[in-house]
Amino acid sequence: MTDNETRPQDAEVEAELAGVPESMTEAADETAQLREALEVAKQDVLYAKAETQNVRRRMEKDIADARAYAATSFARDILSVSDNLSRALETIPAELREDDKFKSLVAGLEATGREIEKVFGNHGITRIAAKGLPLDPHQHQAMMEMPTTDHEAGTVIQELQAGYTIKDRLLRPAMVVVAKKPD
């Protein structure tokens, strides 16, 4: 065989080598596709982790809110009991307060009122300030307007029913009378 003659083995090697650049290109393309798919998968994992964290935080906040405000409906119901007790104490005339027969009854009712206020305080229930303050529609409910020159318009001049908050939420607005300019 001469140098110019090709051997069958050389022909096979040349055929293989001719296909090498083509298969290297395919391998490079496949590698690029795999890298792209890996980046997409990494982003998906990051988004999934972030969403999981958000759901966990929301759930923790919901649990904390449920603990903090669980007694809200019960507290609203007890407010009417407190209101009735206050009204009962207000209706007792001064002469009966000094009468020996009623003195202990009045003292017991007053002690009950103080105990209710203490329990409210322990559970984060606080009375809303109203009288003498400007009307705050987030805390006060204006029941009527009264013309007066003694107070600035929009000022609460009388509280008809006390308002309360529980923690930082409104439990019941204060029902108030608001000053307005006379006609």
pLDDT by residue, tens only, the chain of 183 residues? 555 555 666 666 565 555 555 677 888 888 999 999 999 999 999 999 999 999 999 999 999 888 878 888 888 889 999 999 999 999 999 888 888 888 888 999 999 999 999 999 998 899 999 999 999 999 999 999 999 988 899 999 999 999 999 988 999 999 999 999 987
Q: Is the C-alpha dihedral spanning 146, 150, 154, 156 positive or negative?
A: negative
Q: Give me the helices (H) in the chain, please.
A: 8-69, 72-91, 94-98, 100-122
Q: What letter does residue 173 receive in the DSSP assignment?
A: P
Contact predicate 160/183, CB 8 Å: no
- Residue 79 CA to residue 87 CA, distance in Å, equals 12
Give the full edge-to-edge strand order of the sheet including 174-180.
Answer: 140-147, 174-180, 156-161
In this prediction the pTM is 0.64
CA gap 128, 133 in Å, rounded: 11
Q: Under DSSP, is residue 86 helix (H, G, I), strand (E, B) or coil?
A: helix
Q: Cα angle at 49 between 46 and 55, to 5 degrees?
A: 140
Longest dimension (CA), the chain: 141
CB atoms under 10 Å from CB of 136, counted, come to: 16
